[in-house]
């Protein structure tokens, strides 16, 4: 599965909003969700069944859309209101080359140059996961090292590509991503991914 980044990112002459000028609601939502989405990106990577340099050439791309206000959430409940502000439409790992080729086709030069610069600012690494979040007129590129996103032992295990235990864990993580990512983000549960990792670590003991 791939995402039509050109369609999502094509903008008028004014270009894309910078980090400082992005709408406050998106910034608030991203403050909560940046780390959880980085963790979910590792779940989606299926690292136990990938070559050792997989993360050096792939990025997790998520297309979000503004959520319809849920009737069961009061606007006074600010925390849950912010956490459920956006919902995933599509999400997948994509090759860097595919992303860069598509960015190069964006008609507006200002937009094209800005997102290209932001994307390459996050250098890849064998133990670094990167995300590109697209949400209406906003986007964000971020990265995180596995050792900072997960407990040390867990982060080391999931990149042991020849380890049967790592491959089994990787399969479980991929299935969890397929079943839970969209509803979890939509419902605003920013802590589930961390809990899944904790449970997996307990099972490995």
Give the closest residue to 178 by CA, choosing from 43, 35, 86: 43
pLDDT of residue 1: 40
Is pLDDT above 70 for 22? Answer: no
pTM of the full structure: 0.86
6 pLDDT band (50/70/90 cuts)? low
Segment 93-108 mean pLDDT = 87
Q: What is the pLDDT of residue 14?
A: 37
Q: Which long-range contacts (CB under 8 A, 24 or more apart) does 177-186 make?
A: 177/40, 177/43, 177/44, 181/40, 181/43, 181/44, 181/88, 181/91, 182/87, 182/88, 182/91, 185/33, 185/36, 185/37, 185/40, 185/86, 185/87, 185/88, 186/67, 186/84, 186/87, 186/88
Residue 116 pLDDT > 70, yes or no?
A: yes
- Say which residue the tokens 């960015």 belong to: 103
Residue ranges covered by each domain of the chain: 21-198
The first and second tokens of residue 12, run together, are 């008028």
């Amino acid at each position: 599965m791939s995402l039509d980044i050109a369609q999502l990112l094509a903008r008028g002459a004014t270009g894309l909003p910078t980090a400082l000028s992005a709408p406050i609601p998106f910034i608030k939502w991203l403050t909560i969700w940046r780390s959880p989405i980085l963790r979910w990106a590792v779940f989606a990577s299926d690292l136990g069944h990938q070559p050792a340099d997989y993360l050096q050439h792939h990025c997790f791309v998520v297309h979000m859309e503004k959520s319809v206000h849920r009737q069961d959430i009061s606007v006074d409940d600010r925390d849950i209101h912010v956490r459920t502000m956006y919902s995933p439409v599509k999400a997948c790992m994509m090759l860097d080359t595919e992303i860069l080729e598509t960015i190069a086709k964006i008609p507006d030069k200002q937009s094209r140059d800005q997102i290209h610069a932001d994307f390459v600012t996050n250098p890849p690494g064998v133990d670094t996961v990167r995300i590109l979040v697209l949400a209406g007129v906003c986007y964000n590129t971020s990265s995180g090292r596995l050792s900072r996103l997960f407990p040390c032992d867990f982060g080391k295990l999931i990149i042991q590509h020849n380890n049967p235990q790592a491959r089994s864990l990787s399969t479980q993580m991929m299935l969890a991503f397929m079943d839970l990512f969209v509803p979890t983000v939509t419902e605003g549960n920013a802590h589930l991914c961390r809990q899944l990792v904790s449970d997996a670590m307990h099972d490995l003991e």
